[in-house]
């Protein structure tokens, strides 16, 4: 066992699988479950949008994780906590207070998941030599995406199979299928916690038992000072906050559009078809786009690749305009459209991420990068996601997708003004 603990392949894949599963449950699976249990698009996007708050504000409590206990302790503790909480969702679904209960538990899972993310990323840095960090970056990203496939693909697919075959078509069958999904998720997270309790190497020699609030506030202020004195701050902030605006609007509406009935303007996809197309093929397309985008930037540099990759993340959004005007039941056509858009998103997001890395270089780079990702989640995920349902309900899916295409001009504008230094 001690020899196995020194092998990164024994814990890196499972660590990032454990990072993806709760995020998928809170931000993706919940959307489908709430839609099937009768909530409107406006309610779903507003409620689940708020669930993204912990990933926005996580830089505030990240010093606690660095200075209290060990990152290994936080990882294992959060995985056990999330395992129990995910199982609690299952037992809350059939109750009369299911909505309030599920939202409260999802928010707990979101905070635990954001805490786990901080711990896992920090552990990856201290647990591996720099050479191995570069070697395993593809492995961690791949297993993160596998976790997303399991969550929004495989488990949604399972819910669909249970609804169609095992339990029939009633509302009770919906509750039973989603109870099963969340019990499975809870068991998976609990097993990951048990596994990591034994397999994660003990690389931190000091266990911190006290947290100095005043000292950490001073450190946070110093980090903030470094951030606000970065060159070209205004254009950088606009880029960080607004680059992902079109995708932020699409993220929660596309699954709802694919699932809503034809009378509601949707494509009436079943859970089985949705899990197969959006949760599997779409995630694979996203992973492929990310790999190719990262390769392109490493070969030709961010400055030369930026505009081509910006076009990749914006122009393919037109596929949803097409599907809204020409709805179809042909899975190959829907799958092709989703895959094209997700490949484009993966390409563009690779450039965006590498810009954040470039901007964060220098003094306190890790802390500055965490502020950048918080801004990314605020402007590119949380706020657009919260308002997207209100917009789509009031103007319809067709006009909503045209509006998304119009907001691509915002992405073009912030890209035109952002400053990128020439690579050396």
**What CATH number does residue 234 fall under?**
1.20.1250.20
Residue 168 has pLDDT above 60, yes or no: no
CB atoms within 10 A of CB 289: 26
How far apart (Å, rounded) are the C-alpha atoms in residues 38 and 16?
Answer: 33
Residue 99 bridge partners (DSSP): none
In DSSP terms, 208 is beta-bridged to: 69
The pLDDT of residue 234: 93
CA dist., res. 306 & res. 290, Å (int)? 14
Question: For the chain, how many structural domains are there in total?
Answer: 2
Q: What is the pLDDT, as a whole number, of residue 4?
A: 45
Residues 271 and 332 both lie in one domain = yes
Decide if pLDDT at 280 tops 50. Answer: yes
Write the pLDDT tens digit of every residue in 109-162: 999 999 998 888 888 877 877 667 666 766 777 788 888 888 888 888 888 888
Same domain, 84 and 228: no
Helices (H), 68-170: 71-92, 98-127, 130-148, 156-161
The reply to whether 222 falls in a domain is: yes
The length of the chain in residues reads 424
Written as six digits, the tokens of 240 are 């960080």
Residues 6+ away with beta carbon under 8 Å from 353: none
Domain co-membership, 192 together with 220? no
Question: Is 104 a domain residue?
Answer: yes
Q: Do residues 230 and 134 share a domain? A: no
Average pLDDT over residues 360-377: 82
Q: What is the pLDDT of residue 25?
A: 93
d(CA 396, CA 173): 30
With a CB cutoff of 8 Å and minimum separation 6, the contacts of 234 are: none
In sequence order, the 6+-apart residues with CB closer than 8 A to the CB of 373 are 55, 356
- Considering the domain boundaries, does residue 203 fall inside one? no
Is the separation of the CB atoms in 11 and 200 below 8 Å? yes
For residue 397, what are the β-bridge partners? none
DSSP state letter for 52: T
Q: Is residue 45 part of a domain?
A: yes
Cα 43 to Cα 252: distance, rounded to the nearest angstrom: 12
Angle at 54 between CA 129 and CA 36, to 5 degrees: 115
CA R_g for the chain: 21
Residues 23 and 129 in one domain: yes
Query: Are 303 and 419 found together in one domain?
Result: yes
Same domain, 251 and 386: yes
User: Alpha-carbon distance 262 to 179, whole Å?
Assistant: 27
Average pLDDT value over all residues in the chain: 86
Q: Say if 312 falls within a structural domain.
A: yes
The answer to whether residue 88 scores a pLDDT higher than 70 is yes
Q: How confident is the model at residue 272 (pLDDT cuts 50, 70, 90)?
A: confident
Task: Specify if 205 maps to a domain.
Answer: no
Two structure tokens written together for 307: 């505009």
Q: What phi and psi values does residue 399 have, to the nearest 5 degrees?
A: -65, -35
What's the domain range around 41?
Answer: 1-197
Q: pLDDT, tens digit, for every residue of 291-342? A: 888 888 878 888 888 899 999 999 999 999 999 999 988 999 999 999 999 8
pLDDT at 257 over 80: yes
Give the integer Cα–Cα distance in Å for 46 and 386. Answer: 4
CA-CA-CA-CA dihedral for 65, 67, 73, 77, to nearest 10: -40
In-domain check, residue 206:
no
């Amino acid at each position: 066992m001690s020899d196995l603990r020194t092998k990164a392949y024994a814990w890196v894949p499972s660590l990032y699988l454990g990072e993806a599963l709760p995020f998928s449950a809170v931000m993706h699976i919940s959307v489908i479950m709430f839609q099937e249990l009768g909530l409107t698009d406006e309610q779903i996007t507003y409620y689940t949008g708020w669930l993204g708050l912990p990933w926005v504000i996580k830089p505030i409590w990240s010093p606690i994780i660095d200075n209290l206990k060990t990152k290994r302790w936080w990882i294992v503790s959060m995985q056990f906590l999330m395992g129990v909480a995910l199982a609690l969702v299952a037992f809350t679904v059939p109750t009369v207070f299911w909505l309030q209960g599920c939202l409260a538990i999802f928010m707990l899972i979101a905070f635990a998941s954001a805490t786990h993310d901080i711990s896992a990323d920090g552990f990856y840095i201290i647990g591996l030599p720099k050479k191995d960090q570069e070697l395993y970056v593809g492995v961690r990203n791949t297993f993160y995406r596998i976790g997303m496939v399991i969550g929004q693909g495989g488990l949604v697919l399972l819910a669909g199979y249970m609804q169609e075959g095992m339990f029939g078509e009633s509302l009770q069958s919906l509750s039973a299928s989603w109870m099963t999904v969340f019990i499975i998720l809870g068991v998976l997270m609990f097993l990951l916690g048990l596994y990591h309790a034994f397999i994660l190497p003990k690389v931190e020699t000091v266990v911190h038992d006290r947290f100095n609030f005043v000292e950490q506030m001073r450190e946070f202020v110093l980090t903030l000072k470094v951030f606000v004195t970065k060159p070209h701050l205004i254009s950088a902030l606009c880029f960080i906050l607004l680059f992902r605006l079109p995708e932020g609007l699409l993220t929660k509406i596309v699954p709802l559009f694919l699932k809503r009935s034809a009378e509601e303007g949707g494509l009436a996809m079943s859970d089985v078809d949705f899990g197969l197309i959006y949760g599997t093929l779409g995630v694979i397309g996203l992973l492929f786009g990310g790999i190719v985008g990262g390769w392109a930037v490493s070969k030709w540099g961010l400055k030369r690749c930026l505009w081509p990759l910006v076009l990749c993340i914006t122009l393919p959004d037109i596929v949803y305009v097409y599907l809204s005007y020409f709805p179809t039941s042909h899975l190959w056509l829907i799958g092709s459209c989703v895959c094209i858009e997700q490949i484009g998103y993966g390409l563009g997001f690779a450039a965006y991420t590498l810009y954040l890395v470039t901007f964060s270089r220098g003094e306190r780079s890790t802390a500055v990068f965490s502020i950048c990702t918080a801004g990314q989640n605020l402007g590119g995920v949380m706020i657009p996601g919260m308002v997207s349902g209100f917009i789509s309900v009031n103007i319809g899916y067709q006009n909503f997708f045209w509006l998304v295409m119009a907001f691509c001009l915002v992405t073009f504008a912030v890209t035109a003004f952002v400053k990128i230094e020439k690579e050396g």
